[in-house]
């Protein structure tokens, strides 16, 4: 499976995801658990929303083959 998120995109998703989940656990609104989706896509490197809209932040030159 190919990645469609660049390293900077994955890092941004990770940081925002951690902040959202932390705020949700601390008593924030329940929609903040959306951060779990960001953490999963940051770890996997594949965003289903990007696939649907055919968006890629990863250059074809920097694609690393995954086994």
**How confident is residue 5, by pLDDT bands cut at 50, 70 and 90?**
very high
Mean pLDDT of 4-15: 94
Name the pTM for this structure: 0.82
18-33 in b/e form (b: 16+ CB < 10 A) is eebbeebeeeeeeebe
What pLDDT sits at residue 62?
A: 57
Q: What are 16-49's pLDDT values in tens digits?
A: 999 999 999 999 999 999 999 999 999 999 999 9
Residue extents of the structural domains in the chain:
7-62
Q: Tokens standing for 2?
A: 């190919």
Q: Hey, how many other C-beta atoms are within 10 angstroms of the C-beta on 57?
A: 15
């Amino acid at each position: 499976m190919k990645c469609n998120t660049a390293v900077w995109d994955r890092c941004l998703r990770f940081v925002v995801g951690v902040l959202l989940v932390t705020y949700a656990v601390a008593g924030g609104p329940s929609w903040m658990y959306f951060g779990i989706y960001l953490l999963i896509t940051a770890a996997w490197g594949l965003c289903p929303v990007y696939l649907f809209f055919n968006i890629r932040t990863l250059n074809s030159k920097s694609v690393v083959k995954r086994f």
